[in-house]
Structure 1
Amino acid sequence: MTTHRYSNPRFNPARYRRFEVINKRDRRWPDQQIQVAPLWCSVDLRDGNQALIEPMSVAQKQAMWGLLVKMGFKQIEVGFPSASQPDFDFVRWLIEANQIPADVTIQVLVQARDELIERTYEALEGVPRAIVHVYNSTSPTQREKVFGLDKAGIIAVARKGAAKVKAEAEKHPETQWTFQYSPESFSGTEVDFAVEVCDAVIDVWQPTPDNKAIINLPATVESAMPNVFADQIELFCDTVKKRDSILISIHTHNDRGCGVAAAEMAILAGADRIEGTLLGNGERTGNMDIVTMAMNMYSQGIDPELDISIADEIIATVESCTAIKTHPRHPWVGELVYTAFSGSHQDAIRKCLAVQKDEAYWDVAYLPIDPQDIGRNYQSVIRVNSQSGKGGASYLLEQAMGVTLPRWVQIELAQPVQKQAEQQEGELSTEDIVRVFRKNFMTSHGQLQLDSYQIDSHGGEHRVQAGLNDGSNIRLVHGHGNGALSAFTDALHKALGITVQVVQFDEQAVSEGSDAQAIAFIQANINGQRFTAAAQDEDTLSASMNAILAVVNQALEQQAAVA
């Protein structure tokens, strides 16, 4: 009888084979350093979108496209146009609406099948330049258990697909074409066979140093340590044909939590290009996180050639388009990564900041980069001793008001509570804490008050008309957006010239019954600064709109004080 160490008999590591390592005695990549950023290709609109429970709407795709262009991506995979009508239509919109900047190349994915390749070129008609990315699976598991093909059969599929891609491109000489091939599940494929398949494709395409093809090597499922993947990449680069005429691209996934590490080691091993998604959205545990890898480079003094300084906008757009919240401990850009809860950490940060010179290399304890570089501030990290009592103050306030404070509101509340405690030189009562909260975050006075509003929606677009009371007149403002709140912020921007970028938002019911109240919490970026506010109302939408007006009033009051 088999005995088991664990209570679940299925939890048995003997069921799994260890990944075979490569016996490579001449490995060079451990001695290399990353000197410059790779070529980046975002696959948010294809691989990332494919992994969503609810695929992006047209408006969300357009918003994501705008963000990627703004960040500086020069290659963007925009869809799988032969697989779905929405992807086909989005590619056509990009081309027909002239949305592709002169320095940006779109990429589309297609299986190595004739009818799908033909449909792909239909979608691309009239595009000034494009990357056509064709693939077929090559691993033993895929070829034997899924496709029932031997090695020769897999090579034949790849060669036929490559020939079809080339033939269709020749029908459109007005377009600047780049061909890309992926041996899908490369990391699970014997390296010598992956080279053989790719060599067959290269023989068909005949790339040159002046007209390179892209060979993309995916860790479709991450199954080995990143150093093993680096060995695979270095061996491939050493043995593939026409290395000077191809770009080696990497597409890692994060099944082992090492997607970024594998991509970084692949660069050391000779890769030229990285595919990934913003914040790592993707199938299973996700794709390689481009924001993390780019910030890793930035923290080492390397220009990532992507604008990550707009971190709040990146997070807001990705969350809006994917409906996936960013973890507060997400590397570099999570809401808590520059917050020190430990008193000793706070003290060390404060002392380092006091002696940090602008012209010197950044060297601050517990802060690997200056948070201001990505639009953050020191409000959370230099509150020496202000964290003590934060949990208790939040608990008393929650009990008194019947709400649950979001973590980011708790952090903002700590400073005025500590200040009040110091002024009173004694313990604060529950009533004192409620007064502090209302004074700092729920003030009813201000330059602008919501008088009325009307919301209409059609085809996923919301339009708002709101009356704003400025103390002497009622001013009507109009806006539109993907939702009611985005329509309202659009109206404020058009009427006041103020851009409200919502960073955090939370809405809760305060009580139950016919007189139920709602409270909305908001943190927004206005003119490069964050403001936090809350508003309460019987109408949930009114509460949200009043919360937005509260942060706008805070910003206006600050502007007036400076003036």
Structure 2
Amino acid sequence: MSRKIYVFDTTLRDGEQVPGAKLNRRQKLEIAEQLAKLGVDVIEAGFPCSSPEDLKAVQTVAEQVKGPVIAGLARAVPSDIDLAWEAVQKAERPRIHVFLGSSDIHLQKKLRRDRESALQQAVEAVKYAKKYCEDVEYSTEDASRSDFDYLCRVIEACVKAGATVINVPDTVGYAIPEQYGELIRRLRERVPALDKVILSVHCHNDLGLAVANSLAAIRNGAQQVECTINGVGERAGNASLEEIVMALRTRKAFYDAHTDIVTTEIYRTSRMVSRLMNIPVQPNKAIVGANAFAHSSGIHQDGILKDRSTYEIIRPEDVGVKAHSLVLTARSGRAALRHRLKELGYNLTDEQFERVHKRFLDVADRKKEISGQDLTSIVEIELTKVPETYTFQSLQIMSGNTMQPLASVTLMKDGQPHTDAATGNGPVNAVFNCIERIVGQEGKLRDYDLKAVTMGKDALGEAMVRVEINGAVYSGIGTSPDVIEASARAYVNAFNRFFANGNL
């Protein structure tokens, strides 16, 4: 029987630390419910002390999501631990996750304290958390750069104090797989107390080695892996859940380990996180990228047609990527659309279906055929919209290489049209300036990404923006066969997120 590896998902905490990817309570709950469906063992729902809103979001997840352990992160101080417990106490299976630096770099440069006082603080924090919660995880922050003997002392003391999970993070992505695997092996040999608890790892991707380091740790005895959907996270990101899970599944004989992840839910979860955080998945991303199961080489295509195993080590359907032959057009009726949505795995309420149907008709009127990818994009954007203060209605553009672009935009608010015009240094800039005039707020464009959802001249364009408004960054996403309209919809979406946060 292979070893069970526990999957600790920190998309809602570490993943949310990406600038502009902040999630509201409803969005966190939606992702958490999908993570439960995916089969993760632990959901780290947030960092409750970071803000009152995050505290409430973690409480909502703890109260409503059943199945996985729900964890809240806390620094090794009583006030943080109090808030973490307040956030997770109503969970079916609560966990308090406490952390403190263990490397001399963190102790001296950040915490300004010596090893002994930090060790005492760690022990006291675990004991304090244990008064609230039976399940306490302790993380030795920056473990991969810590003195080995001191690291052993900290781990042994925290297990004795009552920790049920010990996490050994590669916080800054400094480790090399051989070195990190060796660290895990040596810790298990040196600290017998680790046999009584779950040994966890948490790897960052600064050198592009997060997944490799996580797998090396599993190979050497780690029992829990901390990761995120699509590898999202601060700086270069975290270890990618889907890559670790599928590596263990595909090379099961080598690792002699398995997870309880429902792999057919991977692609759906990836798309949801990408949409709600407005972080596009790179096309060549392993497992969930648009090109992960695409073959353009004639030699590859010939091999695939003869036997898929020639060039595919993972079946697309195993991760929830499905090919469909039904083609939708503007003439397709509601029954065909409902059937197609059901094929794609969407069970929509009547209200949700009407929103999707309206947008489907709008796109289908301008596009010959609506592919599965087009429909997925339409559905996910419609279902993840925040309440709309302003709704995009129409735009007109006058532009050319010998004139200053001029845009006229109409937005709807409370059933009333609001129209204005503005110039810009390009048609998209003119549209953005016009939207700002209508909503009465200035924005500073921090990031702008435009891509085709499918191939062909009539491909659906998908625009993603990050806009700084009043010192905070808000993300927006929009689609349309017209890339300028897609950009406008994305910009309006970003401002609607701003207004949804009570900034009216």
Could you tell me which of 280, 285, 294 is aligned with 1:330? 285
Q: Does the residue aligned with 1:233 lie in a helix, a strand or coil? A: helix
| 1:316 matched to 2:267 | no
Gaps in structure 1 of 5+ consecutive residues: 1-33, 170-176, 208-212, 354-363, 380-411, 413-439, 450-476, 490-498, 524-531, 545-563
Mapped partners of 1:339, 1:314: distance in 2: 20
1:141 to 92, 95, 105: 105
How far apart, CA to CA, are the structure 1 residues paired with 2:146 and 2:300? Answer: 47
CA distances 1:263-307 after superposition (whole Å, capped 9, x unpaired): 111011111111110110011111110111111122235753212
Indicate the residue corresponding to 1:266 in structure 2.
217
SS in structure 1 opposite 2:181?
helix
Question: How far 1:502 moved relative to its partner?
Answer: 4.3
Q: Structure 2: any 5+ residue segments left out of the alignment? A: 336-348, 361-371, 382-391, 400-406, 410-426, 429-450, 462-479, 490-504
Report the equivalent of 2:122: 158
CA drift at 1:130: 1.1
Q: In the alignment, what sits opposite 1:503?
A: 376
- Under a length normalisation based on structure 2, what TM-score does the superposition of the two structures give? 0.67
With a CA cutoff of 8 Å and minimum separation of 6, indicate the structure with the bigger relative contact order.
Answer: 2
Label 1:257 to 1:93 Cα distance change in 2 as closer, same or farther (>3 A): same
- Is this contact kept in 2: 1:278–1:318, CA < 8 A? yes
> 3-state DSSP class of the match of 1:182?
strand
Amino acid at match of 2:151: A
The one of 3, 11, 14 equivalent to 1:47 is 14
Q: Measured at CA, do residues 522 and 325 of structure 1 come closer, stay the same or move farther in structure 2, by a change above 3 Å?
A: closer
Summarize the Cα distance change of 1:125–1:486 in structure 2 as closer, same or farther, 3 Å threshold. Answer: farther
Find the counterpart in structure 1 of residue 351 from structure 2. Answer: 479
CA contact 1:442–1:533 (8 Å) conserved in 2: no
1:217 corresponds to: 168
Distance 1:538 1:48, change over 3 A: closer
SS of equivalent residue, structure 2 residue 12: helix
Q: Displacement of 1:446 after TM fit?
A: 3.4
State whether residues 181 and 220 of structure 2, in contact with CA within 8 Å, keep that contact through their aligned partners in structure 1.
yes
Secondary structure of 1:133 counterpart:
strand
Q: Any conservation in 1 of the 2:76–2:121 contact (CA below 8 Å)?
A: yes
The structure that has the greater radius of gyration is: 1
Question: What letter matches 1:65 in structure 2?
Answer: A
Q: Which moved more, 1:297-306 or 1:115-124?
A: 297-306
What residue in structure 2 maps to residue 183 of structure 1?
140
Q: Deviations over 1:140-183 (max 9, x none)?
A: 111112222221121121122122212344xxxxxxx2011111
Judged with a 3 Å threshold, the aligned counterparts in structure 2 of structure 1 residues 93 and 166 are, in CA distance, closer, same or farther, namely same
Report the RMSD for the aligned CA atoms in angstroms: 4.0
Greater displacement, 340-349 / 366-375: 366-375
**CA distance in 2: counterparts of 1:348 and 1:82, whole angstroms:** 54
Separation in 2 of the partners of 1:443 and 1:308? 31
Going from structure 1 to structure 2, the CA distance change for 1:480 and 1:193 (only over 3 Å counts) comes to same
Paired residue secondary structure (2:28): helix
Aligned with residue 88 of structure 1, among 55, 69, 79: 55
Q: CA deviation at 1:316?
A: 1.9
**Secondary structure in 2 aligned to 1:45?**
coil
Structure 2 CA distance, aligned partners of 1:313 and 1:151? 45
Contact kept? 1:295, 1:304, Cα under 8 Å: no
- With over 3 angstroms needed to count, the CA separation of the structure-2 counterparts of 1:54 and 1:268, relative to structure 1, is closer
For the Cα contact (< 8 Å) 2:206–2:236, is it kept in 1?
yes
- Give the alignment partner of residue 34 of structure 2, picking from 45, 48, 67: 67
- Which position in structure 2 is the counterpart of 1:446? 332
> Residues 216 and 303 from structure 1, CA distance in 2 versus in 1: closer, same or farther, beyond 3 angstroms?
closer
Measure the CA separation in 1 of the matches of 2:110 and 2:135.
29
Cα offset for 1:37?
4.3
What's the CA shift string for 1:477-528, capped at 9, x where partnerless?
96259x9759968xxxxxxxxx99943469999974689999x9766xxxxx
For residue 314 of structure 2, what is the aligned residue in structure 1?
369
SS across alignment from 2:136: strand
Q: Secondary structure of the equivalent of 1:242?
A: helix
> What is the deviation of 1:320?
1.5
The residue aligned with 1:106 is 70
Q: Shift in Å at residue 127 of structure 1?
A: 3.5
Residue 260 of structure 2 is matched in structure 1 by 305
Post-superposition CA distance 1:4-34 (Å, at most 9, x none):
xxxxxxxxxxxxxxxxxxxxxxxxxxxxxx9
CA–CA distance in structure 2, aligned partners of residues 121 and 486 of structure 1 = 43
C-alpha deviation, 1:74, in angstroms: 2.3
Deviations 1:30-76 (A, max 9, x none): xxxx9444111101111111234241112211111111011011211
Corresponding residue for 1:252? 203
Residues 300, 488 of structure 1: alpha-carbon distance in 2 compared, 3 angstrom cutoff: same
**Distance of 2:186 and 2:305 partners within structure 1:** 48
1:504-523 to structure 2, matched below 5 A, reads 504=377, 512=398
Offset of 1:203 from its aligned partner?
Answer: 2.3
Aligned-residue sequence identity (percent) comes to 24
CA–CA distance in structure 2, aligned partners of residues 153 and 55 of structure 1: 35
